[in-house]
């Protein structure tokens, strides 16, 4: 029902990117232009365009630079680099060659053309809609754990390993086993779209007592109060993105809910250290929503 509305919002974001290639594009500004909370924009952008925000910006800038250079020999690398938002010729040339396989200098002699700048498209393929297991009103929940950074190869795996290994070490050292609940993770988005090393990841556990412990090296945060659509993912963590994408791309636009302006999170119902087969892993994805009133 509301799929066209979400597509239009993402297209507004795409238009904002194309009009501001020579400027620093922050997640906050992009989310404001699209009319979508920055907690959810990056996931909706990915499922509607097929690219992460940062990747779309890089590709669009390079394609625009390519177009400028193809106009003729009077266009130089310096002007093209500045026009598409690069702070130096060397960074532009390096990114250009990495993306297209040849240098900017050779573009006037190359028969290759740039990738088209495309907006969101309607899919002709059948959609597999995964319904939420439940719509749940949650109380606020204290967590403790470790805040890490780093998003590599489109994965939080290394950050997650560091966060949970350190948290489990502190749990054991301080005999906290009876005071902790389920394992949880929160993936924060960073306003610096170009630096994946700064993307934040919190890995930890529910704290079952009144206030979380205070130890050197431990962080704490609170999962938000409110309504959540809860999706159940069964199987490897490597395929979690499929359930996330189905929830945002296929279920949300056709549901009676809109997204709330707060972060989603994951809760892990079993311990991978005790599981023989990844197929047995069960993860709950909590997406904050509110009833849509027409």
Q: What is the DSSP string of 274-290?
A: G-SSGGG-EEEEEEEEE
Higher confidence at residue 54 or residue 7?
A: 7
Q: Is 88 found in the same domain as 16?
A: yes
Q: Is the pLDDT of residue 126 over 70?
A: no
Q: Is 144 found in the same domain as 93?
A: no
Closest residue by Cα to residue 36 from 252, 254, 194, 293: 252
Q: Is 198 found in the same domain as 97?
A: no
pLDDT of residue 152: 75
Give CA 176 to chain center in angstroms: 32
Q: Give me the domain span that covers residue 150.
A: 134-291
Q: Is 281 found in the same domain as 143?
A: yes
Q: Is 152 found in the same domain as 100?
A: no
pLDDT (tens digit, 9 = 90+) per residue, 49-76? Answer: 888 888 888 888 877 777 766 665 555 6
Compute the distance between CA of residue 55 and CA of residue 67 in angstroms, rounded to an integer: 18
Residue 204: what are its φ and ψ, rounded to 5°? -170, -155
| Pairing mode of beta strands 282-291, 226-234 | antiparallel
* DSSP 8-state assignment for residue 152: B
Assess if residue 70 is contained within a domain: yes
Confidence of residue 252 (pLDDT cuts 50, 70, 90): very high
Look up the CATH number of the domain holding residue 195. Answer: 3.20.80.10
Q: Is 278 found in the same domain as 139?
A: yes
Q: Is 185 found in the same domain as 99?
A: no
Residue where a domain terminates, one of 74, 109, 144: 109
- Bridge partner list, 135: 229
Compute the distance between CA of residue 35 and CA of residue 7 in angstroms, rounded to an integer: 12
Give the highest mean pLDDT range of 33-42, 91-100, 213-222.
Answer: 33-42
Q: Is 178 found in the same domain as 98?
A: no
HSE (CB half, 13 Å, CA atoms) of 152?
A: 9
Provide the H-helix boundaries in 200-261.
240-246
Task: Tell me if 135 sits within 8 A of 255, measured CB to CB.
Answer: no
Assess if residue 127 is contained within a domain: no
Q: Is 139 found in the same domain as 272?
A: yes
Mean pLDDT for 270-276 is 89
Assess if residue 128 is contained within a domain: no
Confidence of residue 166 (pLDDT cuts 50, 70, 90): very high
Q: Is the pLDDT of residue 119 over 60?
A: no
Closest residue by Cα to residue 55 from 198, 249, 199, 193: 193
Determine the angle formed by the axes of helices 3-19 and 53-69, rounding to 10 degrees.
50
Assess if residue 221 is contained within a domain: yes
Assess if residue 123 is contained within a domain: no
Mean pLDDT for 260-280 is 92
Higher confidence at residue 73 or residue 185?
A: 185
Q: Is the pLDDT of residue 139 over 90?
A: yes
Confidence of residue 96 (pLDDT cuts 50, 70, 90): confident
Q: Is 201 found in the same domain as 56?
A: no
* 3-class state of residue 182 by DSSP: strand
Assess if residue 98 is contained within a domain: yes
- Bridge partner list, 276: none
* 3-class state of residue 80 by DSSP: helix
Domain count, the chain: 2
Assess if residue 124 is contained within a domain: no
Task: Say how many C-beta atoms besides its own lie within 10 A of residue 141's C-beta.
Answer: 18
Q: Is the pLDDT of residue 163 over 50?
A: yes
pLDDT of residue 225: 94
Task: Tell me if 141 sits within 8 A of 206, measured CB to CB.
Answer: yes
Site of tokens 């350190």: 166
* 3-class state of residue 221 by DSSP: strand
Compute the distance between CA of residue 190 and CA of residue 210 in angstroms, rounded to an integer: 30
Confidence of residue 189 (pLDDT cuts 50, 70, 90): low
Assess if residue 232 is contained within a domain: yes
Burial 242-260 (b: 16+ CB within 10 A, else e): ebbebbbbbbbbebebbbb
Q: Is 102 found in the same domain as 138?
A: no
Is pTM beyond 0.85? Reply is no
Q: Is the pLDDT of residue 200 over 90?
A: no
pLDDT averaged over the chain?
82
Mean pLDDT for 75-102 is 68
Mean pLDDT for 227-246 is 93
Q: Is 80 found in the same domain as 157?
A: no
Q: Is the pLDDT of residue 28 over 50?
A: yes
Q: Is the pLDDT of residue 117 over 60?
A: no
Confidence of residue 138 (pLDDT cuts 50, 70, 90): very high
pLDDT of residue 177: 84
Look up the CATH number of the domain holding residue 37. Answer: 1.10.10.60
């Amino acid at each position: 029902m509301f799929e066209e509305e979400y597509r239009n919002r993402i297209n507004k974001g795409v238009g904002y990117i194309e009009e501001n290639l020579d400027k620093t594009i922050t997640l906050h500004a992009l989310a404001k232009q699209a009319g979508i909370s920055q907690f959810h924009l990056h996931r909706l952008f990915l499922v509607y365009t097929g690219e992460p925000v940062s990747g779309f910006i890089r590709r669009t800038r390079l394609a625009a630079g390519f177009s400028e250079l193809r106009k003729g020999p009077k266009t130089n690398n310096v002007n093209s680099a500045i026009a598409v938002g690069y702070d130096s010729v060397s960074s532009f040339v390096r990114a250009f060659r990495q993306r297209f396989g040849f240098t900017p200098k050779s573009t006037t002699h190359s028969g290759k053309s740039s990738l088209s700048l495309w907006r969101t498209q309607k899919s002709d393929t059948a959609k597999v809609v995964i319904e939420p297991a439940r719509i749940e009103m949650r109380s606020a929940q204290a967590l403790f754990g470790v805040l890490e950074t780093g998003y590599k190869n489109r994965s939080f795996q290394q950050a997650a390993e560091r966060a949970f290994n350190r948290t489990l070490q502190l749990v054991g050292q301080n005999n906290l086993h009876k005071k902790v609940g389920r394992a949880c993770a929160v993936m924060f988005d960073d306003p610096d779209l170009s630096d994946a090393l700064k993307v934040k990841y919190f890995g930890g556990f529910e704290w079952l007592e009144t206030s979380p412990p205070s130890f050197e090296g431990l962080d704490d945060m609170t999962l938000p109060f409110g309504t959540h659509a809860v999706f159940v993912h069964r199987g490897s963590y490597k395929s979690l993105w499929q359930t996330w994408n189905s929830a945002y791309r296929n279920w949300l636009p056709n549901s009676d809910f809109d997204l709330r302006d707060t972060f989603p999170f994951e809760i892990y119902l079993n311990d991978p250290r005790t599981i023989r087969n990844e197929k047995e892993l069960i993860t709950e994805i909590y997406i904050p929503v509110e009833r849509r009133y027409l």
